[in-house]
Amino acid sequence: MLDNLAGFFIQWGITSLSLWVASLLFNGIRFSSTGSLIISALLLGFANAVLRPLLVILTLPLTLVTLGFFLLVINALMLLLVAKVVSGFKISGFWTAFFASLFISILSMALGSLVPNAEMTVYRLPTQAPQTISM
């Protein structure tokens, strides 16, 4: 259980760091406080875990027609949604969210690959040795 919790906190920290770096690089992203940054990272993770799969399924025909590029639009929409919900997080427009979400995804993936145990193992089944039947 603690491995799962540690992986969650590591991923939350990586997302927070990625959002912070994106706010330094993109002029259209602003955080009013550190608390709004941390809450935004938590809600972005929640939105990506719960809402994003639903949007991917609902927009599957459009995603197939655009050869997957519509997934970038979904990422931008998730970032805009979090900016609407968190009061201290502001994004100037869609294109800022589009390029920032692309940057955040790449940076999070790169940082996650550097950290051992950054992946959560909540949905994995425990490994067990095969049982033999003796008579």
pTM exceeding the 0.75 threshold for the entire prediction: yes
Select from 73, 72, 96 the least CA-distant residue to 83.
96
User: Could you give the angle at which helices 70-85 and 34-58 cross, rounded to 10 degrees?
Assistant: 140
pLDDT at 115: 78
* Single-letter code of the amino acid located at 110: A
Q: Are 40 and 31 in contact (CB under 8 A)?
A: yes
Task: Give the E-state strand segments of the chain in sequence order.
Answer: 29-31, 89-91
User: Where do the structural domains in the chain lie, given as residue ranges?
Assistant: 2-114
Looking at per-residue pLDDT, the higher value among 38 and 128 belongs to 38
The answer, yes or no, to whether residue 116 has pLDDT greater than 90, is no
Q: How far apart are CA 96 and CA 78, in angstroms?
A: 13
Q: What is the DSSP letter of 129?
A: P
pLDDT, mean of residues 114-120: 63
pLDDT, mean of residues 25-40: 93
Give the list of residues 6+ apart from residue 74 with CB closer than 8 angstroms, or none.
52, 55, 56, 59
